[in-house]
Amino acid sequence: MRRFKNRVSWAGLLASTVLAATALAQDSSLPPLPIEATGTVQSLPAKYPDEWFLVHDASFFHMSDGKVYVIDTSADTVAEQVKGMFNVVLMGNIGQSRRRGEIYAAETFHSRGTRGTRMDVLTIWDMASLAPKGEVVWPTPKRYMGMPQRFAVTPIDNDNLLLVVNFTPATSVTIIDLDTREIVNEVATPGCLMAYPTGQRGFSSLCADGRLMSTQLARDGSLIKQTRSDVFFNSDDSPIFEHTAFIEGTAYFPSFSGEVYPVNMQGKVAQVGKPWDLVTKEERAGNWRPGGIGLIDADDHGHFYILMHPDGADGTQNGGGSEVWVFAAAKRERVLKIQLQAWGLSLAVSRGKKPMVLVTNPTDMSLELYDGTSGEYIRSVKDFGQETPLMLHASYQD
Amino acid sequence: MRRFKNRVSWAGLLASTVLAATALAQDSSLPPLPIEATGTVQSLPAKYPDEWFLVHDASFFHMSDGKVYVIDTSADTVAEQVKGMFNVVLMGNIGQSRRRGEIYAAETFHSRGTRGTRMDVLTIWDMASLAPKGEVVWPTPKRYMGMPQRFAVTPIDNDNLLLVVNFTPATSVTIIDLDTREIVNEVATPGCLMAYPTGQRGFSSLCADGRLMSTQLARDGSLIKQTRSDVFFNSDDSPIFEHTAFIEGTAYFPSFSGEVYPVNMQGKVAQVGKPWDLVTKEERAGNWRPGGIGLIDADDHGHFYILMHPDGADGTQNGGGSEVWVFAAAKRERVLKIQLQAWGLSLAVSRGKKPMVLVTNPTDMSLELYDGTSGEYIRSVKDFGQETPLMLHASYQD
Amino acid sequence: MNFLDDLFERRSRQLAQRSSRRGVLKQLGGLLVGAAAVPLLPVARAVAAPQAAPKAPKEMGDESDCDYWRYCAIDGFLCSCCGGTKNSCPPGTEMSPITWIGTCRNPADGRNYVISYNDCCGKSSCGICLCQRDEGDRPPYRSDKTNDINWCLGTASAVYHCSTAIVVGVALDKGAK
Amino acid sequence: MNFLDDLFERRSRQLAQRSSRRGVLKQLGGLLVGAAAVPLLPVARAVAAPQAAPKAPKEMGDESDCDYWRYCAIDGFLCSCCGGTKNSCPPGTEMSPITWIGTCRNPADGRNYVISYNDCCGKSSCGICLCQRDEGDRPPYRSDKTNDINWCLGTASAVYHCSTAIVVGVALDKGAK
C-alpha cells in the first residue's frame, strides 16, 4: 500500500523495470535470432478438449461490446488459459454444434452503434479459426434480448436445424437450415418461451400458464404439430426456472422453492414427471433455495449441479448461491456439496471422465474451478479482461 | 469486510432492505398521487454553465462503447453531477461550438460491430437535447484514431468550418461546412498532424521534422497557402507534446524536458516564440517533468495548468503527474502548485471567474475537482459508470 | 483508507446488484400472442388531487436510492442518476412504450400504486446506480413479470440506457402485480 | 486477504499501464505523404542460423510478461495472453501490415534487434496483459515513433485487439529506433 501513497515511486518503478531488463547475463557468441514471418494467425482444434469452456461476458456496462472467451481451465496462467475470443453484440446468446465445429451467436447491430437501423444477425463462428464463416440476417429484427440463456439458440435434428428464440414481446422461434444457412420457418409459440430440444426434430417451450408446449417439425423445418401439456406448476406461486440440465433426454427444471421437475424430452411431446425435493426439511427451514443465472448444468455421469443459497426469499432467486449441490438425478440423491470460496452466480460443468465445475464469482467477476467429484477448489481464472461473465458453457453443449 | 466473508448475509441484506422500506410512518388521509405522464425526456440548457465538463471515456477495454458524460462538477452527488451522456464509438474525438450549441464527435462504425465495412462519421450533437441533429459521412474512412485529443476535431472561422484530422498513415485534414454539414475540402498536411486554430481562417499542424505548418483557408474551405516554420525543436531529442493550451491567441506547447514554447497563432502563420523553463534548476535536478494525456489546459485569466511528475525519464511522459502547476503565461511565472490526492493523468480547467481544475485520477479512474485559485481539493466525481475517462474538456473549448 | 472504502463499496454493489439483468422494464399483460397488444391494467385510475385540498399528495425518500419506494420491482440503472428523473428519461434517449408493471406501496400514504417501469433507450448502459430488486420477479416465460428481458421494444433503438418508475394508478388490491 | 491482493494488483496495473494508449503498433518511416509507403528499414537482415551450428539462437524470459525483452517499445494488450503468441495473432484476427519499428536489446546475446509491432485487428480489446513501455515514444506527429495511434490500418477492420512483437532483423546500430 505504501507505494501508492508515495507519489514519486511510480516513475521510479518504471525506471527500475528498464534497468532490470538490461542487467541479465549475455553470450555474444550465440548466432543471431532468425527473421520471423509476419501475418501468422493461430488456430484452435476443431473439437475443443473437455477442459475448455465458453465464457460469455455480456459486458453489462458496455453491451455493445459483449465478448465470448474460449478458456482452457486446465492451465495455470491467464496466458495459457485464454485461447481466443469473439464479440457478441447486445445481450446475445450462443449455441454450439460439435458435429459441424461451429458456434452460433445471435446478436444485434445498429447502423450507428447504439442508434440507427437495427439488424438481428446469427453469426456462425468456425471453432477452429474463430473466424465468422457465415451469417443469417433476420428479415425483421425480433430476437430475444435479455440475460444470457442456454436454450435461446439451440441446434436440433443432429444439428441440421437451428432454433433461435424471438420476443417482441410476441414469442416465436426462427428455424434455420444449417446446411444452407437460411431461415426456413418461423413458428409462433404463443405465451411460451425458449427452445428445449425434444424428440428427434422438435422443441419444447415453457409457458406462462404453467405448461410446456412441444413443437414437432418436419425435416424442412415446417410445423407438424404443437402440443400443450397439462398445467404442472403455477408461475405466480410456485415458479420454475427457465434454466435446466439435460441428462439422457430428461430435462431437470428446478423450482424457486427447491424442488426439481424431471421432464422427459425423448418423445415427440414433453412428459412431465413427478417433482422431488432438492432440500431436506431442515434445509427448507433454513430457506435453502436454488438461485442464480446459469444456475444448473449436468455432467456426463448422470449428475446435475445447482447453485444453492440459504435464507432464500422473494427476490433472492437470481442472486446465486454460496454452495453448489450435486445430485445423482436417477437416484434423486445428493452426492456432494461444494462450498464456494465466496459466492457463485452461474456455473457450467465440463464433459468427459473428470467433471469440473466452473463458477462465476460475482464478488470480483472471476471464475473458479472446482473438482466435480471431490468438490475441491482447483484454481481461479481471472484478469482476462472480463466485465460481467454472466453465462458459462461447457465447450460442447450436446 | 466481515459481511462478505459471511456467506449467508447477502440474502439477509436484501430482506432487511425490503423491511426497511415498509416500516415508515404513513398518513392514509393524504390524497393519492396523480397519474404521471409517460414519454417525458429531459433537456439541458443550450449553453452549459462554467462548472460543466465533457468527460470523454474512451472505454479502453470496450472501445466499441466509448462514452462522453456531461458532468456538473458543482454538485455533490452522482445523481446531480451526471446531466447526460452520448456514445462515441472507437477512440473518437470531440469538439464544441458555443455559438451553435453543438458538439462534434468523429467516430467509426463497422457494419458488424467490430468487423464488416468501416464507416467514419462526424455526428453532430445538439447540446440542449443531447440528440444527434446531423451527420457527415467520410467518402473513404480515414479519420485519426488514437488516444483522445483536443485538436483533432476543431471548429474555426467563428465556427463556420470544422476541421477533422485524418491519418492513414498519410496525414490530412477534412474540412466541413457547418452550415451545410458537407465536406468541402480535404487538405494534405504531409508529415504534420493535428489542427490548431490559426488566424481568422486557418490552422497549424505539428510536424515530425520539428516545424509547424500553417494552412490558410478561403471562406469556402479551399486552400490558400501552406507555410512551414523554421525548425524549432528536435522530435528525437527534445520533443514537445502535441497537447497545448491557448491563451489569448498564443498556444503554449510544453516539451518533454520541462520547457514551454509559446506560439502566436493570431496571424496567418504560426510564430514560434522563445521557450522558457517550467522548472527551476533544483526541480530539473529532481527530473520534474510534464506528463500525461490531456496534460495542459488554460483558464480565462491568463493561466495554464500542467501535470508534473518528479523522477521523469524516457518512458514517463505519458504517465501523468502527482502535481498540477499553474503558470501566469505572460509573466512566465508559476503562481500555484496543487498537490493531487493521488495522481493525475489528464486535466481540464473551467472557464469563468472561478477556474476549477478537473483531474482524472488513474488509480481508481475517478475525477477530482480542485480550486484553481487556492489549489484546494473540493470533491470527487466517481461511480458514474466510467471505465477510462482519458480526456476531459471544459464545457466550452473556445 | 479511501482505497479500502472504495473497494468494499464496489464489492457490495457487485454482490447486491450485478447478479442479474433485473427486469428493467416489463410488459403489460400476460399472454401476448402474434403481435404486441395493450392489455387492460389492473389499475383504478387515480383521481387528480383536488386543487384546494388541504393536504397534498406525498412521497418520501431519495429517488436516486435503490430503496426508494417506487423501485420495488425495478431492475437496471436508475434514470434519476443518469440525467433523467424517476419518471423521465435522460436527454437524447427515447422512452420505451412497452413496459412491465409493478405494484409498490407508498409509505407516505400507505397506498399501493401501479408503477410502470419504462426503459430509456438509444444510448448504451448509463452505468450508474444499478438497482436490483427481484421481488415478484419471474422467469422470462412469464413475460409480464420478468425483469431479465431487454424492454427496449417498440423504440427506434434496442439499446438499453436506464429505467424509470412512473405512477400510472392506484392498485385495486395489493395482490395485483 | 484475497480482496486486498486483488485490489492492489489492480491499482498497480492501473497506475502502470492504463495511463496511455501505448503505441500498440507504429509505422515504418517518418514523413509519409499522400499515401502509405514502405520506407527502408534501418535493418541488416539477420542471417538464418546455420543448421549445424553448435549453438542455437537464444531468448530468455516470459513472453506473457510486460518486461520481456521484445516489448521495449510496445503498447497495448500482449497477444501472448490473448490466444496468440509474441509473434502471431489470436485465432480469427488479422495482423496489421502497417507497423511501428522498435529496437530492443536481446539480453541473451547482447544484440539489438529491430522489432516490428504488428497489431492484431478485427475483434475488440483483448483486455489482457496491458503493457505500457513508453521508452522512445514520441507524440503522434512523429508517427514513426508514436504509440498513441491505432495501428489497425490496412486491415479489413479498424478494431484493435492486441499487439505482437516480431523480430525482423538485427539493428545496424543501437541508435536506430
- Nearest-by-Cβ selection for B363 from A4, A61, A89: A4
Considering the domain boundaries, does residue C61 fall inside one?
A: no
Q: Do B314 and D11 touch (CB under 8 A)?
A: no
Considering the domain boundaries, does residue C141 fall inside one?
A: yes
Mutation for testing the A interface, residue in C3, C10, C12, C21 having most A CBs under 10 Å: C21
Q: Do C145 and A235 touch (CB under 8 A)?
A: yes
Look at residue D135 and tell me whether its pLDDT is greater than 90: no
pLDDT of residue C173: 61
pLDDT of residue A315: 87
D32–B contact, CB cutoff 8 A: yes
Query: Using 50, 70 and 90 to split pLDDT, how confident is the model at C172?
Result: confident
Q: Do A10 and D16 touch (CB under 8 A)?
A: yes
- Nearest-by-Cβ selection for D21 from B147, B190, B292: B147
Look at residue A35 and tell me whether its pLDDT is greater than 80: yes
- Nearest-by-Cβ selection for A65 from B18, B64, B343: B64
- Nearest-by-Cβ selection for C89 from B1, B42, B125: B42
**D81 and D147 in a common domain:** yes
10 Å CB burial of residue A37 (0-12, 13-18, 19+) is exposed
CA distance A253 to A48: 28
pLDDT (mean) for D171-176: 60
**C166 and C120 in a common domain:** yes
Q: Do C158 and A1 touch (CB under 8 A)?
A: no
- Contacts with D3 from chain C: Cβ below 8 Å: 7, 11
Q: Where are the alpha helices (DSSP H) in chain B?
A: 2-5, 9-22, 78-81, 281-285
**Buried-exposed string C4-42: b where 16+ CB fall within 10 A, e elsewhere:** eebbeeebebbbbbbbbbbbbbbbbbebbeeeeeeeebb
Main-chain dihedrals φ then ψ at residue A21, nearest 5 degrees? -70, -20
Q: Total structural domains in chain D? A: 2
Tens digit of each residue's pLDDT (9 = 90 or more) over C61-117? 999 999 999 999 888 999 999 999 999 999 999 999 988 888 899 999 999 999 999
Look at residue C148 and tell me whether its pLDDT is greater than 50: yes
B115–D contact, CB cutoff 8 A: yes
Query: What domain range is C7 assigned to?
Result: 2-40
D31–A contact, CB cutoff 8 A: no
Q: Smallest CA–CA separation between C3 and chain D, in Å?
A: 8
> A43-394 has which CATH code?
2.130.10.10
10 Å CB burial of residue A284 (0-12, 13-18, 19+) is middle
Task: Give me B185's grid cell.
Answer: 475540402
Look at residue C36 and tell me whether its pLDDT is greater than 70: no
Neighbours of A44 (CB within 10 A): 22
pLDDT of residue C146: 85
What value does the mean pLDDT of chain B take?
93
Q: At what angle do helices B9-22 and C2-17 cross, to 10 degrees?
A: 80
Tens digit of each residue's pLDDT (9 = 90 or more) over A106-155? 999 999 999 999 999 999 999 999 999 999 999 999 999 999 999 999 99
pLDDT of residue B64: 96
Q: Cβ distance B56 to B386 under 8 Å?
A: no
Q: Which residue of C has its CA nearest to D6?
A: C7
Main-chain dihedrals φ then ψ at residue B41, nearest 5 degrees? -130, 135
Q: Where are the alpha helices (DSSP H) in chain D?
A: 2-17
Look at residue B171 and tell me whether its pLDDT is greater than 90: yes
10 Å CB burial of residue B140 (0-12, 13-18, 19+) is exposed
Query: Using 50, 70 and 90 to split pLDDT, how confident is the model at B393?
Result: very high
Q: Do C128 and B77 touch (CB under 8 A)?
A: no
Q: Smallest CA–CA separation between B26 and chain C, in Å?
A: 5
Catalytic site includes residue C173:
no
Beta bridge partners of D166: D116
Q: Smallest CA–CA separation between D12 and chain C, in Å?
A: 12
Least confident of A178-192, A250-264, D124-138: D124-138
- Contacts with D154 from chain A: Cβ below 8 Å: none
Tens digit of each residue's pLDDT (9 = 90 or more) over D99-124? 888 889 999 999 999 999 999 999 99
**D86 and D33 in a common domain:** no
pLDDT of residue A397: 55
Q: Which residues contact D60 (CB under 8 A, 6 or more apart)?
A: A24, D69, D107, D108
Considering the domain boundaries, does residue C48 fall inside one?
A: no
**D165 and D79 in a common domain:** yes
Q: Cβ distance C95 to C86 under 8 Å?
A: no
pLDDT of residue C144: 83
**C120 and C73 in a common domain:** yes
pLDDT (mean) for A240-254: 98
Considering the domain boundaries, does residue C7 fall inside one?
A: yes
Q: Do B79 and C80 touch (CB under 8 A)?
A: yes
Look at residue A207 and tell me whether its pLDDT is greater than 60: yes
Least confident of B251-255, B301-305, D19-23: D19-23
pLDDT of residue A186: 98
**D164 and D106 in a common domain:** yes
Q: Do A384 and D105 touch (CB under 8 A)?
A: no
Query: Using 50, 70 and 90 to split pLDDT, how confident is the model at B337?
Result: very high
Q: Cβ distance C140 to C146 under 8 Å?
A: yes
Look at residue D27 and tell me whether its pLDDT is greater than 80: no
Look at residue B233 and tell me whether its pLDDT is greater than 80: yes
Q: Do B129 and C92 touch (CB under 8 A)?
A: yes
**D155 and D77 in a common domain:** yes
- Looking at per-residue pLDDT, the higher value among B247 and A398 belongs to B247
Look at residue A6 and tell me whether its pLDDT is greater than 60: no
Percent over 90 (pLDDT), chain A: 91
pLDDT (mean) for C133-143: 88
**D155 and D87 in a common domain:** yes
**D123 and D78 in a common domain:** yes
Tens digit of each residue's pLDDT (9 = 90 or more) over B65-92? 999 999 999 999 999 999 999 999 999 9
CA distance C105 to A84: 49
pLDDT of residue C52: 53
Q: Where are the alpha helices (DSSP H) in A53-158?
A: 78-81
Query: Using 50, 70 and 90 to split pLDDT, how confident is the model at D172?
Result: confident
**C131 and C77 in a common domain:** yes
pLDDT of residue C54: 65
Catalytic site includes residue D151:
no
Tens digit of each residue's pLDDT (9 = 90 or more) over A310-361? 999 988 999 999 999 999 999 999 999 999 999 999 999 999 999 999 999 9
Instruction: Mark which residues 107-146 of C lie under 8 Å from B by CB.
Output: 107-111, 113, 116, 118, 120, 123-129, 133, 135
pLDDT of residue A26: 77
Beta bridge partners of A133: none
Tens digit of each residue's pLDDT (9 = 90 or more) over A152-191? 999 999 999 999 999 999 999 999 999 999 999 999 999 9
The per-residue DSSP string of B52-105 comes to: EEEEEE--TT-GGG-EEEEEETT-SSHHHHEEEEEE--SS-EEEEETTTTEEEE
Look at residue B266 and tell me whether its pLDDT is greater than 70: yes
pLDDT of residue B184: 98
Give the closest residue to A35 by CA, choosing from D61, D48, D74.
D48
Q: Which residues contact A246 (CB under 8 A, 6 or more apart)?
A: A196, A197, A252, A265, A298, A398
- Nearest-by-Cβ selection for B22 from C11, C88, C105: C105
Task: Give me B186's grid cell.
Answer: 480535404
- Of D69, D100, D137, D151, catalytic: D100
Q: Which residues contact B225 (CB under 8 A, 6 or more apart)?
A: B215, B216, B268
pLDDT of residue B398: 54
Tens digit of each residue's pLDDT (9 = 90 or more) over B345-361? 999 999 999 999 999 99
- Looking at per-residue pLDDT, the higher value among C31 and A38 belongs to A38
Least confident of A276-285, B9-18, B168-177, B215-224: B9-18
- Give the three-class secondary structure for A347: strand
pLDDT of residue D148: 87
pLDDT of residue A57: 97
Percent over 70 (pLDDT), chain D: 67
pLDDT of residue C99: 83
Considering the domain boundaries, does residue D57 fall inside one?
A: no
B336–D contact, CB cutoff 8 A: no
